């Protein structure tokens, strides 16, 4: 199941927060941020079964008091289930939560309300949920979700105004909007294509469609026309979200102009990913603080790759936020909260990993959803208290500085390329290539602005203008064969250096040439067995004499069948290109291929990559842009084996680094030598599933 559909179908549950102490400033890019953060923003999100019964509520506060410092904010959910509540039910809960917040404040915590359901997530507990003259969320085939409603429906907007008024009048320190404010509501998937939304689209764009004709135009016909219409629909979605957030802002700030509002997001590609504008809207005319909770699904520790996958999802979201947003609490979600589903150590690492990827804190939604004692959760709370100093150290050291390195391409219009070959556009799944290249020690980067190398997969170029493509090809680009073909078809052939000759689905083996970037691995082979993992192997031909082959293809007798399947080229604009025609995204984890990739990415960046892990280990790395001459980075040993003698190559003239383990214990390491602009630091050992924070002196 693809990721987007997975997120829609797994219950995207509960949320929560903490408040930004220092709002505001100008709308500078994050790259120039010097925002000072003294400690992490940590909150717990509390379900109704723990907040409404008085006995449970008092036990909860006692537990937090016992582990003082484990959280600064306690945030109460309004709902237990995911469809909107009737106004009377909502009011009854708010009356109790108002009193709960008074008690919570007396114990020294900030406290607020998380409105789990504004327009509704999906069909759940419908018998006890909102009914009336409201338009249901409607998909492009006209099917409706009875647990969520159209945000453009005037009656629904009235309902939203009512629940936010009641919430603001309960005097919370802050209010959170949950991630139901998006378009992906089970069982109908993406909306909203109700008659009213089609009319609004017509007013915005001058284009008149029925659902049937719109669907046909989005999915069939010339690529240019499809892209144009899809782009207009993304703008329509941005406008719809903006209108709803504007209504919420106005409602809340009419009652309390300084009230911080938080918004929980996912990778909101179909919503048009307008994070900068949405943050500005939520801030309102009085520039109230805005908080953010980037999220996505990682509900148990059965699949360890999904942990860092969520960090990458979160990193993308944070990269789109303006620098004024400082309280960025990753969603840590253990639904349905069964303690053995996710180890306490993994919950801790997850929070650290998301901070490394850009957050400044975490919102823990990890406690019971039942009216029951929290005995079995106490060890988790104790473990999080123990980890708090490291959360603080990470947030303070990494702050809101931008992340540099290798960027897997996406932008605000990325969604337009989904299912481009006459598929069903609105059901598009995952848009991004695999993140496996980041598992070998290359630094992840989420914004093209801060990247030294950009990764382009097939169809990505359709989300870029010609100028943007030229700019990209003037820098470092790693691409697959499909992208090469598309660029050449678009007239960029003189900048790519290669053309496609053929593709084959027969079993083929990649063989390393004698090129200097292959170093000691010349002659090594990589066999990914098309008979098992079927992906075409491409033959490239050089179109410029300066292009060079890094690997050839051989068959199973060892006979060469193609002189080049992966090659590099430096073009007339100074851009450096690598075209990878054999499993470009996966199977990077043997010594020869991972070493080749590190050499290639360093070459693509012209030695501008801020750093990388040169040793052969499974390590995820995030490097921040230098702030006042200081570099900070964090990395995880994403393996069940200890990583010994980890070699960190860091682009710095400074010969000393400070390294902190997750107990904040400091180790000073001096450079063991230099390679070009990089100092070599050898880290004796990192235990399995542990992170290290590094700052240079």
| Number of residues in contact with Zn ion under rule CB under 5 A | 5
**Rounded to whole angstroms, how far apart are CA atoms 242 and 204?**
14
Instruction: Choose the stretch contacting Zn ion; rule: CB under 5 A; options: 152-160, 342-350, 521-529, 667-675.
Output: 152-160
Is the Cβ of residue 201 or residue 299 nearer to Zn ion in the bound state? 201
Instruction: Choose the stretch contacting Zn ion; rule: CB under 5 A; options: 151-159, 290-298, 372-380, 644-652.
Output: 151-159
Angle at 109 between CA 282 and CA 314, to 5 degrees: 45
At 325, list the tokens: 């947003």
Is the Cβ of residue 156 or residue 444 nearer to Zn ion in the bound state? 156
**Neighbour tally for 54: CB within 10 Å:** 12
Is the Cβ of residue 244 or residue 461 nearer to Zn ion in the bound state? 244
Query: Considering only residues 121-150, where is the footprint of Zn ion by CB under 5 A?
Result: 150
Is the Cβ of residue 166 or residue 194 nearer to Zn ion in the bound state? 194
Number of H helices, E strands in the chain: 16, 30
Is the Cβ of residue 118 or residue 319 nearer to Zn ion in the bound state? 118
**Neighbour tally for 430: CB within 10 Å:** 15
Query: Considering only residues 80-99, where is the footprint of Zn ion by CB under 5 A?
Result: none
Q: Is 339 exposed, middle or buried (0-12, 13-18, 19+ CB in 10 A)?
A: middle
Least distance in angstroms from the C-beta of 417 to Zn ion:
24
Is the Cβ of residue 150 or residue 463 nearer to Zn ion in the bound state? 150
Contact predicate 428/418, CB 8 Å: yes
Query: Considering only residues 404-433, where is the footprint of Zn ion by CB under 5 A?
Result: none
Contact predicate 637/643, CB 8 Å: yes
Dihedral pair phi/psi, residue 246, rounded to 5°: -65, -40
Query: Considering only residues 41-60, where is the footprint of Zn ion by CB under 5 A?
Result: none
Contacts of 185 (CB under 8 A, 6+ apart): 8, 120, 121, 122, 137, 145, 147, 148, 191
Is the Cβ of residue 181 or residue 633 nearer to Zn ion in the bound state? 181
Query: Considering only residues 156-215, where is the footprint of Zn ion by CB under 5 A?
Result: 192, 194, 197
Contact predicate 81/14, CB 8 Å: no
Beta strands in 470-546 (DSSP E): 476-480, 498-504, 509-512, 525-527, 537-542
Is the Cβ of residue 6 or residue 200 nearer to Zn ion in the bound state? 200
Least distance in angstroms from the C-beta of 214 to Zn ion:
13
Q: List the x/- string, 284-323, binding to Zn ion by CB under 5 A.
A: ----------------------------------------
At 581, list the tokens: 């025609």
**Rounded to whole angstroms, how far apart are CA atoms 22 and 327?**
9
Stretch (H or E) spanning 599: helix 591-604
Q: List the x/- string, 537-576, binding to Zn ion by CB under 5 A.
A: ----------------------------------------
Place of tokens 């097939």: 458
**Neighbour tally for 293: CB within 10 Å:** 33
Stretch (H or E) spanning 228: helix 223-255
Least distance in angstroms from the C-beta of 195 to Zn ion:
8
Least distance in angstroms from the C-beta of 132 to Zn ion:
16
State in Å, rounded, how far the first CA of the chain is from the last one.
46
Least distance in angstroms from the C-beta of 143 to Zn ion:
13
Strand partners, 627: 630
Least distance in angstroms from the C-beta of 152 to Zn ion:
5
Least distance in angstroms from the C-beta of 136 to Zn ion:
9
- Give the sign of the dihedral formed by CA 443, CA 444, CA 450, CA 452: positive
Least distance in angstroms from the C-beta of 198 to Zn ion:
8
Least distance in angstroms from the C-beta of 269 to Zn ion:
19
Least distance in angstroms from the C-beta of 689 to Zn ion:
45
Is the Cβ of residue 138 or residue 483 nearer to Zn ion in the bound state? 138
Is the Cβ of residue 30 or residue 194 nearer to Zn ion in the bound state? 194
Least distance in angstroms from the C-beta of 140 to Zn ion:
11
Is the Cβ of residue 194 or residue 633 nearer to Zn ion in the bound state? 194
Residues that bind Zn ion (CB under 5 A): 150, 152, 192, 194, 197
């Amino acid at each position: 199941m693809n990721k987007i559909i997975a997120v829609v179908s797994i219950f995207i549950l509960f949320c929560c927060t903490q408040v930004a102490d220092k709002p505001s400033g100008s709308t500078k890019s994050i790259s120039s941020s010097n925002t000072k953060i003294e400690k992490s923003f940590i909150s717990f999100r509390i379900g109704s079964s723990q907040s409404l019964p008085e006995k449970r509520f008092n036990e909860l506060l006692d537990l937090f008091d016992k582990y003082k410092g484990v959280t600064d904010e306690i945030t109460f959910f309004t709902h237990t289930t995911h469809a909107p509540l009737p106004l009377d039910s909502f009011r009854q809960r708010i009356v109790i939560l108002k009193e709960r917040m008074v008690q919570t404040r007396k114990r020294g915590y900030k406290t607020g309300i998380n409105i789990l359901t504004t327009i509704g997530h999906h069909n759940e507990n419908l018998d006890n949920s909102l009914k009336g003259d409201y338009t249901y969320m409607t998909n492009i085939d006209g099917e409706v979700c009875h647990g969520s409603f159209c945000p453009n429906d005037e009656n629904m907007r009235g309902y939203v105004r009512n629940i936010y008024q009641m919430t603001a009048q309960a005097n919370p320190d802050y209010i959170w909007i949950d991630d139901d404010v998006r378009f992906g509501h089970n069982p109908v998937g993406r909306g909203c294509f109700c008659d009213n939304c089609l009319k609004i689209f017509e007013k915005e764009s001058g284009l008149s469609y029925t659902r049937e004709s719109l669907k046909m135009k989005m999915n069939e016909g010339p690529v240019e026309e499809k892209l144009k219409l899809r782009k207009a629909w993304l703008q329509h979605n941005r406008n719809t979200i903006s209108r709803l957030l504007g209504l919420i802002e106005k409602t809340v700030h009419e009652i309390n102009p300084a009230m911080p509002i938080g918004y929980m997001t996912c990778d909101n590609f179909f919503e048009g990913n307008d994070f900068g504008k949405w943050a500005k809207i939520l801030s309102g005319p009085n520039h109230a603080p805005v908080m953010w909770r980037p999220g996505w699904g990682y509900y148990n520790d059965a699949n360890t790759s999904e942990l860092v996958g969520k960090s990458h999802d979160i990193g993308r979201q944070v990269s789109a936020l303006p620098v004024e947003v400082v309280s960025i609490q990753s969603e840590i979600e253990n639904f349905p909260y069964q303690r053995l589903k996710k180890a306490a150590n993994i919950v801790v690492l997850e929070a650290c990993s998301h901070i490394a990827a850009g957050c400044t804190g975490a919102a823990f939604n990890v406690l019971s959803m039942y009216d029951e004692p929290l005995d079995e959760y106490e060890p988790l709370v104790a473990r999080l208290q123990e980890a708090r100093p490291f959360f603080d150290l990470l947030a303070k050291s990494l702050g809101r500085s931008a992340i540099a390195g290798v960027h897997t391409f996406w932008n605000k219009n990325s969604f337009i390329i989904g299912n481009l070959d006459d598929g069903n556009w609105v059901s598009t799944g995952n848009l991004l290539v695999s993140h496996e290249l980041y598992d070998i020690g290359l630094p992840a980067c989420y914004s093209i602005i801060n990247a030294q190398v950009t990764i382009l997969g097939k169809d990505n170029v359709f989300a870029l203008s010609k100028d943007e493509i030229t700019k990209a090809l003037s820098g470092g680009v790693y691409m697959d064969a499909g992208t090469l073909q598309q660029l050449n078809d678009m007239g960029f052939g003189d900048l790519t250096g290669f053309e496609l000759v053929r593709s084959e689905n027969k079993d083929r083996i990649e063989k390393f040439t004698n090129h200097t970037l292959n170093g000691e691995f010349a002659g090594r082979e990589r066999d990914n067995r098309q008979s098992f993992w079927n992906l075409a192997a491409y033959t490239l031909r050089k179109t410029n004499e300066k292009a060079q082959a890094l690997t050839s293809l051989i068959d199973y007798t060892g006979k060469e069948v193609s002189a080049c399947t992966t090659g590099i080229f430096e073009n007339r604009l100074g851009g450096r290109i690598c075209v990878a025609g054999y499993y470009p995204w996966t199977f990077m984890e043997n010594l020869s291929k991972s070493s080749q990739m590190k050499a290639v990415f360093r070459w693509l960046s012209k030695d501008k990559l801020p750093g990388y892990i040169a040793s052969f280990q499974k390590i995820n790395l995030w490097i921040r842009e230098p702030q006042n001459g200081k570099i900070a980075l964090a990395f995880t040993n994403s393996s069940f084996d200890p990583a010994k003698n980890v070699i960190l190559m860091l682009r710095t003239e400074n010969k000393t680094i400070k390294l902190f383990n997750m107990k904040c214990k400091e180790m000073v390491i001096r450079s063991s030598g230099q390679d070009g602009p990089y100092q070599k630091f050898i880290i004796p050992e990192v235990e399995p599933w542990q992170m290290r924070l590094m700052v240079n002196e």
